């Protein structure tokens, strides 16, 4: 494990500690607050690479820009699903405001100077998201959290979800998205290539992969 890896992992454990302390097993609320943070890195990185392409007046950045912006959009959709499951209280709303103000600026500066470490950190964040959605799923499957019907928005969004889909089905799709983000960010950090074995394909991810104009640019 090199220094960049240690730093990325350390940052993740630091944030995980606070998430565990604050939310404990309130996974619906945890998902709402953490998805507001998860939507930041893809937008910051996509914006920065877009600006880089403008400055350098160079092609070749298009696929990465589109992939990062689609990741941000996908995370925003996760937020829209979970907001129907758990309504944040005033303390959580205040936390979301502060987290966005701090994390957007922090991640931007970090990304400008250490993009690979920043992608690695997001890779570790996403791995934590996968494990936290797995714990959420276990509570639903064991009956400790009611397996309510999935929000209509999620049913419309995921090809894998039908009209009778439940919360557990939606959490599986969201978890598959997080695994996709984890793999993609590891690739962008210069680590291993993507694993394409994810179980669900979301509309957001599908649109990231498709390129209607056929141009890469």
Binding site for Fe ion (CB under 5 A): 35, 38, 75, 78, 126, 178, 181
Q: What is the token pair recorded at 151?
A: 């929000």
Q: Measure Cα distances from 160 to 74, 76, 178, 184, 201 in Å.
A: 15, 19, 16, 21, 7
Which residue's CB is nearer to Fe ion, number 59 or number 128? 128
Task: Report the nearest approach of Fe ion to the CB of residue 181 (Å).
Answer: 4
Which residue's CB is nearer to Fe ion, number 117 or number 179? 179
Rg of the chain in Å (alpha carbons):
17
Which residue's CB is nearer to Fe ion, number 38 or number 65? 38
Task: Report the nearest approach of Fe ion to the CB of residue 199 (Å).
Answer: 15
Task: Give the C-alpha separation, 75 to 85, whole Å.
Answer: 16
To which residue do tokens 């701090």 refer?
102
Task: Give the C-alpha separation, 215 to 202, whole Å.
Answer: 23
Task: Give the C-alpha separation, 150 to 121, whole Å.
Answer: 30
Task: Give the C-alpha separation, 122 to 100, whole Å.
Answer: 16
Task: Report the nearest approach of Fe ion to the CB of residue 178 (Å).
Answer: 4
Which residue's CB is nearer to Fe ion, number 53 or number 76? 76
Task: Give the C-alpha separation, 193 to 203, whole Å.
Answer: 22
Task: Report the nearest approach of Fe ion to the CB of residue 38 (Å).
Answer: 5
Task: Report the nearest approach of Fe ion to the CB of residue 154 (Å).
Answer: 12
């Amino acid at each position: 494990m090199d220094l960049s890896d240690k730093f990325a992992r350390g940052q993740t454990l630091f944030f995980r500690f606070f998430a565990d302390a604050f939310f404990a097993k309130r996974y619906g609320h945890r998902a709402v607050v953490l998805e507001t943070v998860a939507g930041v890195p893809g937008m910051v990185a996509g914006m920065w690479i877009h600006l880089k392409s403008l400055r350098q007046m160079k092609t070749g950045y298009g696929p990465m820009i589109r992939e990062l912006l689609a990741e941000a959009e996908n995370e925003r959709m996760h937020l829209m699903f979970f907001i129907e499951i758990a309504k944040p209280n005033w303390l959580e709303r205040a936390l979301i405001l502060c987290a966005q103000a701090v994390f957007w600026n922090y991640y931007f500066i970090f990304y400008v100077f250490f993009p690979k470490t920043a992608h690695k950190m997001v890779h570790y964040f996403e791995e934590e998201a996968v494990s936290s959605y797995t714990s959420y799923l276990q509570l639903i499957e064991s009956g400790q959290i009611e397996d309510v019907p999935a929000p209509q928005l999620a049913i419309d969004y995921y090809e894998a979800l039908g009209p009778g889909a439940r919360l557990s089905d939606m959490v599986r799709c969201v978890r598959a998205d997080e695994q996709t983000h984890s793999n993609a960010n590891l690739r962008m950090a210069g680590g291993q290539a993507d694993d394409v074995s994810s179980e669900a394909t979301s509309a957001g991810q599908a649109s990231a992969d498709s390129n209607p104009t056929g141009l890469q640019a």
